[in-house]
Amino acid sequence: MAATIEARNLWDRIGELLFANSLDPTVSNFDICRRYVLGADDALVRSVDQAIARHGGLTRTAVAGLVALHSRAIATDEIIRFAQEARQKAEEAATAMGDAQDGTRRFADALEAGASTLATGQGPELVIADLLAETRLMTERAWAAEDKIRKASEEIQGLRAKLAEASLTANSDPLTGLPNRRALEARLRNAFDAAKDERVTFSLAICDIDNFKRINDTHGHPIGDQVIKLIASSLSRVGSDSLFVARYGGEEFVVVFDGNEPDEAMSRLDTIRADVAARQVTLRQTGETLGRVTFSSGISGMRGRRDVSAMLKAADEALYRAKNEGRNRICLAD
């Protein structure tokens, strides 16, 4: 009983958090709220507290950033397995409830039949004995059904949590730990819709590592992977709920700047670019010096653009211009 009360309190607190912040009860929103209420993930709790302090609550934009920043990689087949197990447990619970209902109906029928027999004055001792036996059977069935339902409910709760986490972590890039392209596309759609609804703006940047093919050809793909991780770390080090970083594919990254016009986004990103360009990169394994590793970027805003695809296209064109103008620079889209 105590476990049931504790679980109910947990659900109530999660529901209150969703309702208080006008969040839809989606898997992603539910999981962020669940992990925050449980308090087991210190990094997530800090991020949520910061978002609440900054915005006065959890906006859709903030939650979308939290989802991506606190996800981990997991295989798709595990998601399917969790879903199948949860369905199986739900069916077991439904069966147990059906058994309990059938037992109740049988007991009611026995009571009615016994009452009719007693009304005729025939064999009261036998009727009472039959009713007592039926009562004992119904009680045993009820206890068994209650135990099945309780166990199934606990297992469903655990599987639901795993499914929510698995759905989130399927959106991570295994090399860098950043959100992958799938997560980025969802994040951009949410950002665009939220910006329109809340009458705010956002900008995005496409970043591309300069001369990456030459790095791969000269030093090999394992070193190329280390360079990708270096840039990923540099970009994500300043990550927050207002700056979202994802691996777009290959040596490209996309940075989303919530609430920033393109010139503001350029100022923030240029600080990172300059910091990266100032370093002399040395390979830990061999002590070999790679020299400077730089990246170029194109930035676009949402004003005057009908959708996210138009923003990405404009940013890509600006990136192409930055490459042509000498690399290691940032250009704003027209």
DSSP per-residue letters across 227-242: HHHHHHHHHHTT-BTT
Question: What is the distance between the alpha carbons of residues 262 and 331, in angstroms, rounded to a whole number?
Answer: 10
Please give the residue range of the domain that contains residue 280. 181-332
Q: Of the candidates 143, 169, 195, which is a domain's last residue?
A: 169
Q: Residue 79's pLDDT is what? A: 54
List the catalytic residue out of 134, 165, 251, 252.
251
pLDDT above 70 covers a percentage of the chain that reads 65
288 and 189, same structural domain? yes
Specify the range with the lowest mean pLDDT, choosing from 18-27, 116-125, 191-200.
116-125
Q: Which amino acid would we find at residue 138?
A: M
Q: How confident is the model at residue 56 (pLDDT cuts 50, 70, 90)?
A: confident
Burial class of residue 91 (count of CB atoms within 10 Å of its CB; 0-12, 13-18, 19+) = exposed
Q: Which CATH number fits the domain that encloses residue 193?
A: 3.30.70.270
Q: Which tokens go with 218?
A: 């000269």
Q: Residue 329's pLDDT is what? A: 97
45 and 110, same structural domain? no
18 vs 70, residue with greater confidence: 18
pLDDT per position as a tens digit, 126-170: 555 555 565 566 566 666 666 666 676 666 676 666 666 665 567
Q: How confident is the model at residue 73 (pLDDT cuts 50, 70, 90)?
A: very low
The answer to the question of residue 174 being in a domain is no
The answer to the question of residue 196 being in a domain is yes
Q: Residue 269's pLDDT is what? A: 94
Any catalytic annotation for residue 288? no
Q: Which tokens go with 29?
A: 């929103």
Question: What is the distance between the alpha carbons of residues 51 and 66, in angstroms, rounded to a whole number?
Answer: 9
pLDDT per position as a tens digit, 159-205: 666 666 665 567 788 888 888 888 898 889 888 988 888 788 999 99
Q: Of the candidates 142, 169, 196, which is a domain's last residue?
A: 169
Q: Which amino acid would we find at residue 77?
A: D
240 vs 227, residue with greater confidence: 227
